[in-house]
Structure 1
C-alpha cells in the first residue's frame, strides 16, 4: 500500500468509525421510540397526529459531524445516563389496578405522580436520584379515585377501573 494512502485511510477510518457509532446510537433511539409507540393502545392513536422523527447530519466548520434531531416525539422516551427507570409491576384486579414501583433512596415529597385515564407518569428529580417512568395502563381508569402510598422504597398506587355501564351501550337493529 502507498504511504499517502495509509494516512488517508487512517483519517477516514476514524471519521467513519465516529459516524458508525452515532448511527448505532440513533438506531437504538429509533427502536426504543418504535417499541414505546407500539405499546400505546390503538384507541389512543385514533385522534392523534402522525409521529415524526428524523435527524440531519452536517459537518461543522471544525470538521466534526453535527447530528440534529427533529420531530414531534417528546424526549421522554430517550433516557439520559443519570435517569433511572424504576421497576414496575401492574396487577389487574376485578375492580382496580395496582401499580407497584421500586423507587429506593428518595423521600415521599420528591415523588411526582400524574395520572390520566390510560396512563400514569412517575417522576423523581432530586439532587441524589432521578427516576422516570411513563406507563400505559391496560384499561381506562378513574384518575380522581387514585390513591398512593410510599413506604420503604416501594410506591404503591391503586386506581379504580372505569366500568362501562349499560347506559353507554346501544341496541343495533339488524337489517
Structure 2
C-alpha cells in the first residue's frame, strides 16, 4: 500500500506511545492523564511528576518543579490533601495531592533541591477506642 505524503511518518509511533503512557499513568493514579493536547501553562504539565511513597511511619511526597525558585513555593496541608502552589518565569503550578492516609500536618518537613520538592509527614495517630460505661 502506498503511503500518502500528507501522513506524518511517526504518527503511529506517537499514538502507540501515548496509549502506553495512558495505561501506565491510569494504573498508578486514576486522576492523572497523559494528553499531548494539554495546555502547558495550565498547571502541572507533562514535565512535572508527583510521587507518593508510603511507609508504616510516614508519607513522603516528591514533586518535580523545574525552573521554580524556593521562595516561590507555597505548601498547605489539611491532613488529607497537600496543596502545592509554585511559579516560575514561564508557568504556574497548582496541584492538590490526595494523600493515601491521614497525616499529622504539624510534623511536616519540606526540602527543595535542584527542582525537586520533597515533603515528609508523620502518619496521624489512630483515634482511640471509646469505651461505654
Same fold (TM over 0.5): yes
145-154 vs 84-93, which moves further: 84-93
What SS does the corresponding residue of 2:56 show, helix, strand or coil?
coil
Query: What does residue range 31-110 of structure 1 map to in structure 2 within 5 Å?
Result: 82-85=41-44, 86-110=48-72
Cα 1:97–1:145 change in 2 (3 A) is same
Q: Which has the higher helix share?
A: 1
Does residue 169 (structure 1) correspond to residue 129 (structure 2)? The answer is: yes
Aligned to 1:149: 111
Cα 1:81–1:151 change in 2 (3 A) is closer
Q: Distance in 2 between matches of 1:144 and 1:136?
A: 17
Superimposed CA distance per residue, residues 86-143 of structure 1 (whole angstroms, 9 cap, x where no aligned partner)? 3100000111100000111111011111111100000113432211110111111111
What SS does the corresponding residue of 2:106 show, helix, strand or coil?
helix
Does residue 121 (structure 1) correspond to residue 80 (structure 2)? The answer is: no
Structure with greater Cα Rg: 1
What SS does the corresponding residue of 1:120 show, helix, strand or coil?
strand
TM value normalised by structure 1 = 0.49
Q: Using CA pairs below 8 Å that are at least 6 residues apart, which structure has the higher relative contact order?
A: 2
Does residue 112 (structure 1) correspond to residue 71 (structure 2)? The answer is: no
Structure 2: tracts of 5 or more residues without a match: 1-29, 32-37
TM value normalised by structure 2 = 0.63
Structure 1: tracts of 5 or more residues without a match: 1-34, 37-78
